[in-house]
Amino acid sequence: MKKLLGLLIIALILVGCGSGGSTSTPVDAAKGYLEAVKAMDATKMNEFTVPEERLTEDEIKEANDALTEGGGASSKELFAALFKTDFTFGEAVIDGDSATVPVSWLGVNVEKLMSQYMTEVFTKAMDEEFSALSEEQQTSEMAKLLTELVNKSTDMKDYKGDLKLAKVDGKWYAHSMNGENADFLIPVLGE
C-alpha cells in the first residue's frame, strides 16, 4: 500500500513539473499545460511550464519509470478519472507578467473513492491469503483494486481551480504545481 500511495504522490509531483509549448495567451498556455497534465505527459508539461520550474530530462525519466512500475496504469487511469471531462477555461485575469486562469472540470469524487479504496485495502490486509503475497504482488493487487474502483465510480464532482501563469520573454507559461500552483489540485484531493 505504501508503494501505491508513493506512486500517487510521484504522479502529483510529475503533474506539477512540467520547453517550447508556451503560447501567446494565458488561456492557450493553460489549455496546453492541463491537457498534458491530464495525459500525464511530463515532456509536454515541461513545454508549458515556466522555464525555471521545469524538470530535467533525468527527473522526467525517473518520474515516468516510477509511474510505470507496479501500478502506473492505475495512476494514469486515476488521473483520467480526475479529469473526466474537458476543462472549461474562464477569462484570464492579467496583471503585468502574471495571470490567473479560472478552470473547471468534472471528475470522480476522490474523497469518496479513496474512502472506499482504503476500506477495501484494510479488508484485504486482514485476509491471510493476501498477507501471504509478496510486497510486489500486494502492490499489484492494490493497483488493480484502485483501477476497478475508478472504472466503476459513478459519483462525480465539479471541481474548480485557478491556474497561475507567468509571461517570460513574451510568451505565457504555467507555474509548476510544486510552486505557485501548489494549491490547484487541493479541491481534488479533499479540502
Give 66-99 pLDDT, tens digit per residue: 666 545 455 666 676 677 778 999 999 999 999 9
* Average pLDDT for 115-125: 88
Tell the burial category of 6 from Cβ atoms under 10 Å away from its Cβ (0-12, 13-18, 19+).
middle
Please count the structural domains in the chain: 1
State which residues form the domain around 159.
2-189
| Cβ–Cβ under 8 Å, residues 165 and 26 | yes
Percent of the chain with pLDDT over 70: 78
**Residue 150: per-residue pLDDT:** 81
Phi-psi region of 190 (alpha: psi -120 to 50; beta: other; left: phi over 0): left
Which grid coordinates are listed for 101?
Answer: 486562469
**Residue 77: per-residue pLDDT:** 65
Give 145-154 pLDDT, tens digit per residue: 888 888 888 8
Which grid coordinates are listed for 93?
Answer: 485575469
